[in-house]
A and B are shown apart, each in its own frame.
Chain A
Amino acid sequence: MAEKKQWMPRWFYQLASPRWSYEIMGKLLPWFAVTALVLLVSGIVWALAFAPQDYQQGNSFRIIYIHVPSAILAQSCYMMMAVAGAIGLIWKMKVADMVAKSCAPIGATMAILALATGAIWGKPTWGSWWVWDARLTSMLILLFLYLGVIALNSAIESEATAAQATAVLSLVGLVNIPIIKYSVEWWNTLHQPATFTLTERPAMPAEMWVPLLIMVIGFYCFFAVSLMMRTRNEIVHRERRARWVRELIEKQ
């Protein structure tokens, strides 16, 4: 019989090995941790002390440096969770299931952060903590999707079944992502449109958007750190009967 065609790059198949994934993540972790620390600290100092204030909103505008990165990350994290879940469903890849499971709590806290900072920003800007607006409501649904995924995953005893069920739920919930994105265009809203788009230059001056970009990348690096730590824990827990885990523990 002919050799089975490999459709994906080599590292994709290596990721299927829990041990290989555990080790590569261990090597990547310190780099992402240092990058995240440098970017977040410099981004926050720049955002709070050096970025100019907004001519309309004054200093409350500085909340954008938390609000936008957390909102972007909450959505990216959801997409990652759904894609990892799909990979787990299609290729029966255990590591993908573990990644998907590890995404949920991080994404949930980022959705909470985006909603909370949005509410805090809304008070001085719109005069209200909350409005039932399309953008805010779809973001709240995103949070509920995360909570649903976490609840479903912990409600099912069998790890394989839990992973399948949550993968299906997160794939169904994926329709919410374009709704969040286009909510500011489809419906009348108080919410301002996106700050960053791929095709146009940001409407704000560079000294305002450069720190924002730094914060967004810093948040992504922080996400990578937290995700890899959680996934490594998950790998050790689920592979606890494997010989390499035993050797790893005994080396400690």
Chain B
Amino acid sequence: MSFDSFSEFIAMGGHGFYVWLSYAIALVLIVINLVSPVMRRKKLFAELVRRFRRESRNP
């Protein structure tokens, strides 16, 4: 451990704002990159299910 206490860990020797902001942006961008393809897949599959159902009803 390079910090003696939790509050020192949060403060990052006065650079806390910069360090935590960087990691927060990284987390947000990584999550966006994983969630958006999952959402797209759900939407796409729902769309195709509807289309195939429609086609099999009136061929």
B37 touches A49 (CB 8 A): no
Total A-B contacts with CB atoms under 8 angstroms apart: 99
User: Distance in Å from the Cβ of A165 to the closest Cβ of chain B?
Assistant: 23
Chain A residue nearest to B12 in the complex (CB)? A59
B12 → A minimal CB distance (Å)? 4
Give the chain B neighbours of A59 by CB distance below 8 A.
12-16, 19
- The interface residues of chain A lying within 8 Å CB-to-CB of B38 are 229
Instruction: Check if A51 is an interface residue, CB within 8 A of chain B.
Output: yes
Interface pair A120/B18, CB less than 8 Å apart: yes
Structural contact, A249 and B52, CB atoms closer than 8 A = yes
Please give, as numbers and ranges, the residues of chain A lying within 8 Å of B41 by CB-CB distance. Answer: 229, 232-233, 236
Beta-carbon contacts of A23-57 to B below 8 Å, as 1s and 0s?
Answer: 00000000000000000100010001111110000
Judge whether A226 and B14 touch: CB under 8 Å.
no
Report the bound CA distance from A66 to B22 in whole Å.
Answer: 7
208-252 of chain A: CB within 8 A of chain B: 222, 225-226, 229-230, 232-233, 236-237, 240, 245-246, 249-250, 252
Interface of B is mostly: helix
A106-B45 in contact (CB<8A) = no
Which residue on chain B has the smallest CB distance to residue A122?
Answer: B18
| Complex Cα–Cα for A237 and B9 (A) | 47
Instruction: Determine, out of A80-88, A111-119, A182-190, the stretch whose residues face the partner at the interface.
Output: A111-119
CA distance A116 to B51 in the complex (A): 42
B25-A121 in contact (CB<8A): no
A48: chain B residues within 8 A (beta carbon): 9, 19, 23
Interface size counted on chain B using CB atoms at 8 A: 32
Cα A117 to Cα B30 with chains together (Å): 14
Q: Which residues of A contact B49 (CB under 8 A)?
A: 249, 252
Q: Assess the A117–B12 pair: CB atoms within 8 A.
A: no
| Nearest chain A residue, comparing its CB with the CB of B3 | A49
Q: Are A63 and B52 in contact (CB under 8 A)?
A: no
CA gap between A142 and B20 in the complex, in Å:
25
Let me know if A58 is at the binding interface, CB within 8 A.
yes
Q: Within 8 Å CB of B40, what residues of A? A: 230, 233
Chain A residues close to B by CB (< 8 Å): 40, 44, 48-53, 58-60, 62-63, 66-67, 70, 105-106, 109-110, 112-113, 116-117, 120-121, 123-124, 222, 225-226, 229-230, 232-233, 236-237, 240, 245-246, 249-250, 252
What are 22 A-B contacts defined by CB distance under 8 Å?
Answer: A44-B23, A48-B19, A49-B1, A50-B1, A50-B2, A51-B2, A59-B16, A62-B12, A66-B22, A66-B23, A105-B33, A105-B36, A116-B25, A121-B22, A124-B15, A229-B38, A230-B37, A236-B44, A236-B45, A249-B45, A249-B48, A250-B52
Lowest 4 A-B CB distances belong to which pairs?
A229-B37, A59-B12, A60-B15, A59-B13
